[in-house]
């Protein structure tokens, strides 16, 4: 058994060999909390949640760090715009992100450090880099000297002569315009912290290098994030950490975007779809299916049609789980192992689409067993399906999703009573062999979004895909 991952730095799929046998350390660039999350933000956390689950299934002890960037230019701009403290905006949106991760079934991370809680570590790193000749102070700012680090731009595969480094307002005193800010001198009214080079605030890149060093040490296995972070963020993280003396990340793994009309989903473009609103319109488990089942490196073009297709696909899986559970008369526990073909797909760069195909094949086999009244085979297929869904965080019988499938548990009892009255009318029509009337009632219920199935214990209803 060997897990293989696409390593951005090597530009190829590589066998995963952990630094410490039996252990995996992951650092994921998390939220910048200037606003509430859209589904593009949550996709990254979800993709790496699936990675974490697969490593744990394979027997690894996983340390998973996902940071919170709670101070940066955008947060300060929001503070000025709204007339609210920067920290209040950060806390509010951090909670919104965590609510989104939780709603979509992401497991809690091992550590979730905030940038502003690690100023001491950042000062220590800057001091070390200045002493080693890789950084310098100017006008209250501290810059990294990119020409001092020979490996600069190897991750993004750029030419230093052609580099256009993003720069912010107030970044004065640079020796070279390609140098990047590690620390920014304070401006009137902005949050700031005291350092040997004057009051100021950290640059985005420094935050992650310092926090990764603190929680994962001088070397760790996997650094993750969206493909938009490759440059400048991850490139600059590498330069700081390695110039400081760390080996830093062994593998670099990047996920694709969620796009709308071909563009990256972003707040600045005004085309974002907030998680808080999406979970009101769609079941969270369906959103997880939609965001988590494409390959993590692929782009997802957002559309309601694609969401409806995901809803229908998941309904087929969920319906099978419900039917077998009902026939068995008890909850069937997941199998201890997933099918070999599923494992092979997941081992190959987390091939979730191929793994999901095995889930659907197994569901079809289980449905055939049900049709043949082969309870034993149906139960065996359900155990396999639950094992596979558990790895993907999509098992509808998992306690996390308890009651979620009914889209409004508080109204379920009322709806059930009303539906039962209609079903009694349908049964009366069936008893008197008035098949057209019985079929008309069923069709009307289907049009209202209810799926009626005749089971050995009588008719039962579920919410089906929306029309």
**What confidence tens digit (pLDDT) does each residue in 338-382 have?**
999 999 999 999 999 999 999 999 999 999 999 999 999 999 999
The percentage of the chain sitting over the pLDDT mark of 90, rounded to a whole number, equals 80
Are the C-beta atoms of 19 and 25 separated by less than 8 Å? yes
pLDDT-derived band at 457, boundaries 50, 70, 90 = low
Lowest pLDDT segment from 16-20, 136-140, 367-371, 435-439? 435-439
Whole-angstrom Cα distance, residue 202 to residue 231? 18
pLDDT of 275 higher than 70:
yes
Question: Could you report how far apart the first and last alpha carbons of the chain are, in Å?
Answer: 44
Tell me what pLDDT residue 408 has. Answer: 46
Report the chain's mean pLDDT, rounded to a whole number: 92
- Alpha helices by DSSP H, listed for 83-152, are 86-103, 119-131
440 phi/psi in degrees, rounded to 5: -65, -40
Average of pLDDT values for 75-101? 96
What integer is the mean pLDDT of 329-337?
A: 96
Q: Above 50 in pLDDT, residue 136?
A: yes
Contact 342, 388 (CB under 8 A): yes
Selected residue with higher pLDDT from 347 and 433: 347
Note the pLDDT of residue 269: 63
Average pLDDT over residues 210-227: 98
- In this prediction, residue 421 carries a pLDDT of 72
Of 42-51, 249-258, 274-283, 411-420, least confident by mean pLDDT is 411-420
Is pLDDT of 460 > 90?
Answer: no
The pLDDT value given to residue 409? 45
């Amino acid at each position: 058994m060997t897990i293989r991952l696409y390593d951005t730095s090597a530009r190829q799929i590589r066998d995963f060999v952990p630094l410490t046998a039996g252990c995996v350390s992951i650092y994921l660039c998390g939220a910048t909390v200037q606003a509430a999350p859209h589904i593009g933000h949550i996709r990254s956390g979800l993709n790496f949640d699936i990675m974490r689950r697969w490593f744990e299934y394979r027997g690894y002890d996983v340390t998973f760090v996902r940071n919170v960037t709670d101070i940066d230019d955008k947060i300060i701009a929001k503070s000025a715009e709204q007339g609210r403290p920067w920290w209040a905006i950060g806390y509010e949106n951090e909670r919104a992100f965590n609510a989104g991760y939780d709603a979509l079934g992401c497991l809690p991370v091992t550590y979730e450090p905030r940038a502003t809680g690690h100023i001491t570590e950042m000062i220590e790193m800057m001091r070390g880099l200045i002493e080693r000749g890789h950084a310098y102070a100017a006008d209250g700012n501290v810059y990294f000297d990119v020409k001092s680090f020979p490996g600069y731009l190897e991750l993004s595969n750029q030419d230093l002569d052609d580099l256009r480094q993003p720069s912010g307002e107030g970044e004065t005193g640079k020796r070279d315009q390609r140098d990047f800010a590690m620390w920014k001198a304070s401006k009137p009214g902005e949050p700031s912290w005291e350092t040997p080079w004057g009051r100021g605030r950290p640059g985005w890149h420094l935050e992650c290098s310092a926090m990764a060093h603190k929680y994962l040490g001088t070397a760790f296995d996997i650094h993750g994030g969206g493909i938009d972070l490759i440059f400048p963020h991850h490139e600059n993280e590498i330069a700081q950490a390695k110039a400081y003396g760390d080996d830093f990340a062994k593998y670099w793994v990047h996920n694709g975007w969620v796009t709308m009309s071909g563009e990256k989903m972003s707040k600045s473009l005004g085309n974002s779809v907030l998680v808080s609103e999406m979970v009101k319109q769609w079941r969270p488990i369906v959103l997880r299916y939609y965001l988590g089942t494409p390959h993590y490196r692929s782009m997802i073009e957002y559309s309601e049609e694609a969401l409806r297709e995901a809803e229908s696909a998941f309904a087929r899986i969920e319906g099978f789980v419900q039917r077998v559970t009902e026939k068995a008369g008890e909850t069937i526990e997941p199998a201890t192992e997933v099918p070999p073909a599923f494992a092979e797909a997941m081992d190959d760069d987390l091939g979730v689409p191929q793994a999901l195909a095995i889930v659907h094949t197994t569901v079809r086999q289980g449905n055939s067993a049900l049709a043949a009244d082969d309870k034993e085979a149906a139960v065996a297929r359900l155990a396999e399906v639950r094992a596979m869904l558990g790895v993907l965080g999509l098992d509808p019988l998992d306690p996390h999703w308890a009651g979620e499938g009914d889209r409004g548990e508080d109204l379920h009892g009322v709806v059930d009573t009303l539906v039962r009255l209609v079903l009694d009318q349908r049964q009366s029509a069936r008893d008197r062999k008035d098949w057209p009337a019985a079929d008309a009632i069923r069709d009307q219920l289907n049009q209202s979004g209810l799926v009626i199935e005749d089971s050995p214990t009588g008719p039962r209803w579920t919410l089906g895909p929306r029309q």
